[in-house]
Amino acid sequence: MHPTPSAPIFRSIAERAVLVEFGTVLDQAAHDAVLQLDQALAAQPFVGFREAIPAFVNLLVEFDPVTTDHPTTIAHLRGLLTAQTTARAQPAQREVLVCYDADLAPDLVAVAQATGLTPEAVINAHLSGDYAVFMYGFAPGYAYLGGVPEVIRLDRKPSPLRGVAAGSVIIAGAQCLVTTLLMPTGWWIIGRSPTRILTDDTARPFLFDVGDKVRFRRIRRAEYEAEQ
């Protein structure tokens, strides 16, 4: 049986979590179901609920094993799915600045060559994408955005590059990401952003929430330097 948004699979994880799977591949309907259940659970938590962690097509629900158990948690989640009483909130719109100057976009020409486009056409395609935050992972503030236009989708590079600067705008397949730390990546680096993804607010440590919409806005070097 394959999970679907209407018939998810519930998996017991260790002694303190349940994984609710709505699909096996990245799919907008499955991700919408993840967000719907996440919001319903936030509005109607159960006794012993600790945290819900949304991903592309599944939701990990953690609970206190002293207070509750897997069957009780699954029953509550099934009830939320059956009731469907919580309308999904409108996603917030976020803007991310990006400069595409050559020294900040070392893979822009390579992406252009691989896709048969000019560098300017790659930039325009990137700016036209319909981006949404699907999940966080890998490193603090690493928000995985879906929505890269088909025309500039490329597989990851054969080998990663070390020492990639924080703020790098990178793409691979249908996904885009703005790096937050100096670290290696095998994704294609097509620009750099001065927009701060990591905040100083302990109550809201990241700029985005899962489900938010994101729009990239092109800036020139002077504005990039001024935002640093």
The alpha carbon of 222 is separated from its chain's Cα centroid by a whole number of angstroms, namely: 29
- What number is the average pLDDT over the span 125-149? 90
16-39 pLDDT tens trace: 999 999 988 777 788 888 888 988
Supply the mean pLDDT for the chain: 91
Closest by CA to 149, choosing from 128, 120, 132, is 128
Task: State the CB neighbour count (10 A cutoff) for residue 4.
Answer: 16
CA distance 204 to 199: 7
> Where residue 88 falls among pLDDT bands split at 50, 70, 90?
low
Percent of the chain with pLDDT over 70: 97
Q: Contact at 8 Å (CB) between 10 and 51?
A: no
Domains of the chain, earliest start first: 9-83 (3.30.1360.40), 93-227 (2.40.100.10)
For residues 42-64, one letter each, b for 16 or more C-beta atoms within 10 angstroms of the residue's C-beta and e for the rest, the string is eeeebebbeebbbbbbbbebbbe
Q: Does residue 86 register a pLDDT over 60?
A: no
